[in-house]
Structures are given as structure tokens and as C-alpha cells.
Structure 1
Amino acid sequence: MKKIILAACMLAALGAQAQNEPYVKETDPLVLRKLDEWQDWKFGLMMHWGTYSQWGVVESWSICPEDEGWTQRKPAGIPYYEYVQKYEALAKTFNPVKFDPAKWAAAAKRAGMKYMVFTTKHHDGFNMFDTKQSDYKITSPNVPFSKDPRADVTKETFNAFRKEGIHIGAYFSKPDWHVDSYWWSYFPPKDRNPSYEIAKYPERWKSFQDFTYKQIEELMTGYGKVDILWLDGGWVRPLSMQTKESLSWSKTPPQDQDINMAGITAMARKNQPGLIVVDRSVHGPFENYRTPEQSIPDKPLDYPWETCMTMAGSWSYVPNDQYKPVNKILHNLVDIVAKGGNYLLNVGPGPDGAWHDEAYRKLDSIGAWMNTNGEAIYGTRYIAPYKNGKVCFTQKKDGSAIYAIYLLDAGEQLPSVISFAGISPKKGAKMELLGYKGKLSWKQEGENVDIRLPGAALKRQWADAVAIRIQ
């Protein structure tokens, strides 16, 4: 009993220590340069896609034996092992014949997206690339789409986006619920973690380390230039790096899931110099930027960060999913950028390889706004106070201009006067409304700056937000 209490106390102490871990700044000059470039890009596309899209269920999680809201099996009532068999048999019917990555890439470019992150493998272990380490993959002979010359969808997608000048990110799940070296079939899985005790079977865990290393090596050597390695499954981490949050993810005693991030990172950067590595939620030297999920921080953060968020309600394809209004998406973008972050917006392709038409319509509307206002977004950095009322602020990283971005509510008419406090322009500063040719008159009384918009500008149709350049 004393040993159990001591172990619990030790884990609690480790969790408290790791929870307060500060951001660890990268020292590799090539990575620092790439991170600075990444902070200029601001807006990216994420795609969750796999065999699960055929059922329109949550990606991977329905085979996890945790009783959480997002892990529910559909339809309900099927015994667990029968369900897993049916789920893994989805590979035999996966045939996304409408797969058209060039169309995706063109839409992303029109929307003003500068980078993308594509799921090469999610937690269920189904590989969307031609790995040599597993037969559970889209190029396996028992998958109908394997006969298509575009069967290696990761390669085709990376090439299509690269052709449009969009930077490439590879999403890769560290846990793998299909391989015997993680969920060993000898023991039933109890939760998202390994189904066996790593301390008792270290050779099995070593096998999983090697498997993971080799898969990432394949992605880093056979798929062209990659800018970001985006690793998910943050519970796979050394025991010493557990936090209060990550400890809460385990229904079983926490284990030392050291995946050898130092070795993986060294190998990856040897093949992809300057690679940004995102071991998400594991605060340490391999988390080059942090990734709040489906949320936006209340205030600016003092390290590189990115909000990853769904365009619709789900990460993966759901029939008739409800998409966020363009007004909401653009307000999120402005809010995130004003706080110094990037916005990674997710679209889930369907079982046939096509996006919802609504996704294309949203991206085209976003692109129309970005064509006019993009200079207030790209290449900017946080400037205090970041927001005042309905006005957000951004600043070019060279200090050449400040932008005041007024957030218009849905259907709101552009006001004749835009007012804010917190930024004090120099006397005689030139101001321009992006998308309108002509100078603006302004005055400052105390802390308040009032910018008067001419009648000709008010007659125009404005929507979502307007940006004023202050030089």
C-alpha cells in the first residue's frame, strides 16, 4: 500500500511539474526561420479523412473502449469486438473515386490559405499513404481504390497543394490502435492507451517505437518537401512529462510511453531541414508551436500558436453537417491573428473523396474577403491592446503599418465613424480603407480615435469586416 501511495504522489508531483512547463524555444536556426515564416502564413487547411467517412462517424474514436460522448458507436448496441470487425472491414469498401486533390488545392488557394495539414494516419491505424510497415492501408490489394493510379492519396494531395504554392504539413497519429505492438490482441484494450504493461513487455514497446520511427521516416523521405510534422495523440509521452490534463485521459495507471521523439526529430530534420515539429500538447522541446483545439485563447500568447478548428460541426465527414457562417469564420480569423496566432480550418472529405459543396462556397467567400483585406492578415504580428470594442489590431512585423479591423455583425451597415482607443496614430498619419481609394479624415480626442468614412465608401456593400491601414 505504501508503494502505491508513493507512486501516486510521485505521479501527482510529475503532473504538477509538467503542467507548469514553459514553452521551450527551438535553437535550430533553420527551424526558427521556418517558424517565423509560418507565423506569416496565418491561415491553413486541415483535412481529416479515412475509411470512417463511409459511416459518417467520428474519426477513429468509436473503436476506443472509453465511454465518452465522442466515442459512441453507431449504430448503438453492437457488441464491441463485432463492431471493431465491421469498422476495420470498411477498408474493403473504401473507393473514393471522386478524389480530386487539385480541386481542393485550388479552392484553398482561392481562399488565401498558405499551408495545409493532411491526415496520413489517424488513431485507428488506417494508413492513407503507401507505408511498407503495415497492410492496413489505402494501397492494400483488398482496398478497391488500390487499383486507382492515385491510390497513394497522401502523395497525390501533397503534390497538388505543393503545385499551388501551399506549404505541406503531415498529420500523423502517434498511437496506433491497429498494430499488435500498441493494442496487443492478447489483452483487451481498456482505453486509448496500450493494452499491455510496457514495463512487463519492453520488447513489444521497442517494436512499436521502431514501427513509428520507420513510418515517419517514409513520410520524410518519399513524399517531397514537408514543412510541418503535426503529431497527434498527446498521451503517448514519457511518464516524466505527464500533466494533470494528460493523466485525466487514462482510465488505467499511466505508463512510460516514450516514443523516442529525440530520435524521430533528428531523423526527420536530417531529411527535411528546418522542419517544424508539433508534438501537440506535450510541452517540451518538440512542441515548436502549441495547438488549442476548437477554441481561441482569451489573450495573446507569448509563444507561437495555432487554433485548429472545424469549418462544420465535426472533424470528419458527416452527411448534412452544419457549416459555420462565413461571418463567424472570418471573425475567428481576425481574432486569432490579432492575438498573434494562426488559424487551421478543417474540412472533412466524404467517402467518395469529394467535399460538401458548402465547403467550396465558404472558401470562395473567404477568399473574396482576403483578396481585399489580406494585407491586414499576412505577415503581421500582435500589437497591444489587440482589441478595443469591435476593432481588432494587427501590425506588419517590420512595423511599417498598423491595421484597425472593424468586425461587422451579420447584416450590419458600415458605420460612418469607426472609433477605438488603445492605439495613438502619429500626427498627420495617413489612413486608408482597404478596398476603397481615397484618404480618410480622422481626429483624436483624449484616448479615442475617430475615423470618418466618406459617403462614397458607405454606399459600397461591405460584409464581415473592414480593415483600415494606418501608416
Structure 2
Amino acid sequence: MVKKKMIAVMWNKIKRGAGLAALVCLFTAVNGQEQGIHQQSTLYEWPTDPLVKQKLDQWQDQKFGMIIHWGLYAVPGIVESWSICSEDWIGRDSTIPYDTYKQWYWGLKKDFNPVHFNPDQWAAAAKAAGMRYLVFTTKHHDGFNMFDTKQSDFKISNGPFGSNPKADVAKYVFDAFRKQGFMIGAYFSKPDWHNENYWWPMYATADRNVNYDIKKFPWRWQKFKDFTYNQLSELMHNYGSMDILWLDGGWVRPISTITDEVRAWGARIPESGQDIDMPKIAAMAREAQPGILMVDRTVHGPYENYQTPEQRVPDHRIGNPWESCMTLGGAWGYVKGDRLKPASKVIHTLVEIVAKGGSLLLGVGPQADGTLTAEAVSRLNEIGLWLKENGTAIYNTRSIEQYNSGQTYFTRSKDGKTTYAIALINEAALPASIGWQGNLPRKGSVIKSVATGEKVKWTVAGDQVSLQLPAKLKGTKQAAALAFSFVND
């Protein structure tokens, strides 16, 4: 993942004696090209395993989750990983050698010492926000491991934090969220830019892909496949019950999945493919974690159990399982000075996504010391206050064919008996009435406010429904959205 803007990396200063640790990186929007954003395949294949289908249905009930990017990039407070990738959409100060920059970035390992690491704070904030599932980044593209892998020394447990009782960070994150009743997902980057069998030091690192011909050096690629399998086996066997294996880096894929659609996405993908043997990985994962959801992003087929459009909401209803993964601020991890979205914006986005049949996975990045900022916690709490009163219209619902009428969105209970109308409010004060077309209540139905349970007066003229808002709601300060329930005709 990457910020929905092109990265421009600039060196502000390098203090003598302090070395490259004094570097400050800035990220600037240059154009609308979204080279680092994962596209969404238009193809979907429903799972056949009964346990997977059961888990998928359970996941579709949750609707709102948190994805946590936390790694070396938190130390200087920059966008995750991408600044060490050599592609023409990524800018760096031309006076600084590329290899020098990479060594500085990877050298942040010696400075990453999150002495205030507090996963219970993260889980409590997510719970207060009304979130119900977690995806934690165990390793991003830069190859730095946030779990105690035995396959690499490039990990948080092999550094200044290594002597801390919570040095196996992923274990404590997963445990904290399990205590709060969350479904648990492990994010894992298939590419690993630190591994010499992916970016071989013999060659330059031209772009995000493997930097050698895997057909010419199959033995080296096999080493990388074994490394990847072994790391994923550790996650599947050593970290408790898992619900989701969320695999990023969709350019690492078999030849058979490189379609014209994939080629049109823009980023170069070698025509030889980069097959890491997903059938073998999935078989191992599901033996260890029966029914686990495999999310091999953008690689359509049996191992992409739900789709993941990134940093956007699809413009139409989608009938198969999906989630929009989006950021609370502008970046996935903690970035200094990042501006967080208003709670109302997140709520409106959540409502639209759920009405279109999806879930929202919201990105929140902890600081280098291991805590969330007070602003992030406060924003999450605001979102949760709305969901606490209106969550019945969100959780355990399903999409319907007519999912909206203007700024009013509709969901339906899983049993099909109750329809929810959720009106997005943009004014400073609530209007006296709201209305919509279609999705008419059954004659004689009672329409209630989901938040208060209060009955609402309503009329129908043709296919237009009009609701008179209860007096106690009129003239109050802005509410993000109003939810109502009724029996549909």
C-alpha cells in the first residue's frame, strides 16, 4: 500500500556526526497517477470449502475493521516502504546516491525502540470506534518483520526492542484484539525487498519486482519461495487463531493471472510471472487454521476470497464479498503532520460502502513509540459514538438492489425482514424532514429512529417517501447520518 499520491522524497538536512538518522523525508502530491495503489480485479471466484464460506459470511457481518501499518517507517514518520523502491514515479533528491538512501532506511532498525508499545490502547480505541476485525502488518514490502520470525534477523525482536518482554510484537497485538472479540487478520507482503533472493545484490533494483530472471536462476527463486512459505507457516502455527491471511503485493502472481486487464494497470509485471505456489501455501494455512480467508489481493481465483479496492469506494453495488481499504489520514502508517479525516466523512464512507455490499477497513498508524496519537483516538471515538446508536443499520446487514436514493442509503437485515434507510447529513442543523424515492415501506408499517427507537411520522406520494423528524432531533447540532428502520413492501 502507498499514499494515494505520488511520493517525492527530499533530504532537508544531514547533521554531521548524526549520520543519516537526521534525515527528514517529505511526501508531496505531484500528479494523480496512483502507481502504488492496488487495482481491483473485475473477476471473482466464490469459495467452495464449507468452512471458508461460513467464515466469509461471518466476516461479512462485521462491516468495519482496522488495518495497522507499523514498522521502520514510523521512526522518521514517513510513508511506508515505497521510498526505497526505484521507479520513476518515486522522487528522491538527485544528489543522494540511491544505495545510500536504502542503507539509511534499513538502518532505522537500530533506532526502532517502541518502549511505550501499547497494543491494549490500540484494541480499546478500535473497539470504541465500533470496529470488529483487525488486519495487522506483520511485514511490509521493505522486509522488516514485526513478528519473531526464525527465517530472518531483520526484525523488531533483533534490535533495541529485542530485550523487551513484548518483543514479539505481532503476538501481543493479536492477543490484545482477541480479548476485545475481534476477528484476526495477518497482513503479509509477498515481495520482500530486503531479502537477497528477491532483490539480489548482484543486480540493481530496477523496480518493485524481483530483480533477476527467475527462469535463468530458478534455484534462487526457489529459495525465496521456501522463505515465504516458512514465514507464513510461522504465522499460521505460532500466533493463535487466525481468521484472515491478507496478502499484499499483487504483482507477485502466476503467469496465468497476468491478463490484459492486469497489464493495463500500469505498473510493470514480468511476463514470466512470480509464482510463489499459492496452492501449497493455502493448503498449509487451512490445515493449521481451518476455514481461514485467503486474500491474495488482485490475483483473481480461489485465493482471493474477497476483493480489496484501495483508497476508493466503487461507483456501483458489488454482489461478491469486498472491502474498501482506506486511510484515516492521508497515509497508511504514522506520518508527521498527517491530517485526519473528520468523523462525519468516515461515517458517510462507511454507510456508502456497506450499502453497496462491502466493508470498510480503516488504516491507522501508531507512532514510533508504540502508541496511537491522542487525535487518532479521539477521532475513532467520535466514529464509535455514531455506531453505538446506529450500528443496527450497519452490522449483520446485506445490500439490496436499490442501495440508494440521493443521499439516503439502504441496507437490509440478513433475514430480509427489516430495511434500514440511512440519510447522510451535511448541514449544520438537522432538516425538518427527509425523503427518498423507492424502497417503499409496507402500508401501515412503523418507521422508527434506529438511534432512539422513537416512531417517525411518514407519508407516501407516488414513489416518494417523506419523514417528519421527531421534535427532539430538530435543530440539534450536526449528526453525521440518521438511520431509520421499517418493514419493506
Into which bin does the TM-score normalised by the smaller protein fall? over 0.9
1:220-299 correspondence to structure 2 within 5 Å: 220-244=236-260, 246-247=262-263, 249-251=266-268, 253-299=270-316
- Partners of 2:154 and 2:258 in 1: how far apart? 30
1:376-431: CA deviation from partner (whole Å, max 9, x where unpaired)? 000001112111011110100111211111100052x2222211111011111111
Of residues 52, 55, 58, the one that matches 1:34 is 55
Distance 1:364 1:119 in 2: 23
Q: CA deviation at 1:250?
A: 4.7
SS at match of 1:78: coil
Of the candidates 198, 206, 209, which is equivalent to residue 193 of structure 1? 209
Does 2:453 correspond to 1:432?
no
Q: Taking structure 1 as reference, are residues 409 and 135 closer, same or farther at Cα in structure 2, changes over 3 Å only?
A: same
Q: 2:91 is matched with which residue?
A: 72
Counterpart in 2 of 1:470? 486
Aligned Cα RMSD in Å?
A: 1.5
Which of 33, 38, 43 aligns to 2:64? It is 43
**2:361 counterpart letter in structure 1:** L
**Helix, strand or coil at the partner of 1:147:** coil
2:432 to 416, 428, 433: 416
In 2, the alpha carbon distance for the partners of 1:250 and 1:446 equals 51
- The answer (yes or no) to whether the contact 2:355–2:399 under 8 Å persists in 1 is yes
SS at match of 2:161: helix
- Asked whether the 8 Å contact 1:96–1:352 carries over to 2, the reply is yes
Given that 2:133 and 2:184 are in contact with CA atoms closer than 8 Å, whether structure 1 keeps it comes out as yes
Do the aligned partners of residues 245 and 350 (structure 1) sit closer, same or farther apart at CA in structure 2, a change above 3 Å counting? Answer: farther
Deviation at 1:256, TM superposition (A): 2.2
**Shift in Å at residue 181 of structure 1?**
1.0
| Structure 1 residues 346 and 21, CA gap change in structure 2 (3 angstroms) | closer
Aligned with residue 354 of structure 2, among 333, 337, 356:
337
The verdict on how the C-alpha distance between 1:431 and 1:291 changes in structure 2, with shifts beyond 3 A counting, is same
Is 1:365 the equivalent of 2:382?
yes
Amino acid at match of 2:344: N
Letter in 2 for 1:187: Y
Contact 2:403 2:411 in 1 (8 A): yes
Aligned CA distance change for structure 1 residues 110 and 20 (closer, same or farther; 3 Å): closer
Whole-Å separation in 2 of the counterparts to 1:78 and 1:176: 23
Question: Given residue 115 of structure 1, which amino acid in structure 2 is its aligned partner?
Answer: Y
Matched with 1:323 is 340
Shift of 1:444: 1.0
Extract unaligned runs of 5+ from structure 2. 1-39
2:419 aligns with one of 385, 402, 419: 402
TM-score by length of 1: 0.92
Q: Which amino acid aligns with 1:183?
A: W
Give the match for residue 19 of structure 2.
none
Q: Does 1:354 find its partner at 2:375?
A: no
Distance 1:363 1:212 in 2: 34
Q: Report what 1:177 is aligned to.
A: 193
Amino acid at match of 1:369: W
| 1:377 and 2:394 are equivalent in the alignment | yes
Residue in structure 2 matching 1:148, options 164, 168, 171: 164
Give the match's secondary structure for 1:56. Answer: coil
Match of 2:114 in 1: 96
Q: Is the 8 A contact 1:190 1:251 kept in 2?
A: no
Between the aligned partners of 2:279 and 2:177, the Cα distance in structure 1 is 29
Q: Distance in 2 between matches of 1:107 and 1:21?
A: 34
Q: Which residue of 1 aligns with 2:137?
A: 119
Give the C-alpha shift of residue 20 in structure 1.
7.8
Asked if structure 1 preserves the Cα contact closer than 8 Å seen for 2:41 and 2:299, the reply is no
3-state SS of 1:393 partner: strand
Q: Relative to total residues, which structure has the larger helix share, 1 or 2?
A: 1
Query: What is the DSSP-based 3-state SS (H/G/I as helix, E as strand, rest coil) of the residue aligned with 1:458?
Result: coil
Is the 8 Å Cα contact of residues 235 and 249 (structure 1) preserved in structure 2?
A: no
CA deviation after TM superposition for structure 1 residue 284, in Å: 1.1
Aligned-residue offset at 1:434: 2.0
Give, as a single letter, the amino acid of the residue that structure 1 aligns with 2:416.
G
Distance (Å, rounded) in 1 between the aligned partners of 2:250 and 2:166: 31
Could you tell me how far apart the structure 1 residues matched to 2:453 and 2:320 are? 37
Aligned-partner residue type, residue 184 of structure 2: I
Once the 2 structures are TM-superposed, how far is the Cα of residue 239 of structure 1 from its aligned partner?
1.3
Amino acid corresponding to residue 281 of structure 2 in structure 1? I
Q: Which residue of 2 aligns with 1:450?
A: 466
* TM-score, with length taken from structure 2: 0.89
* CA–CA distance in structure 2, aligned partners of residues 34 and 382 of structure 1: 18
- Contact 1:278–1:287 (Cα < 8 Å) also in 2: yes
Shift of 1:460: 4.7
Shift of 1:101: 0.3
Identity %: 53
Q: Is the 8 A contact 2:121 2:372 kept in 1?
A: no
Give per-residue Cα distances to partners, 1:176-215, cap 9 Å, x unaligned: 0111111111111111111110000111111111110000
Which range moved further: 313-322 or 250-259? 250-259
What is the distance in 2 between the residues matched to 1:448 and 1:121?
A: 51
Structure 2 counterpart of 1:124, one-letter code: D
Aligned 8 A contact 1:59 1:316 in 2: yes
Q: Name structure 1 gaps, 5 residues minimum.
A: 1-18
Any idea what SS the aligned residue of 1:415 has? Answer: coil
- Pick one of 82, 104, 113 that aligns with 1:61: 82
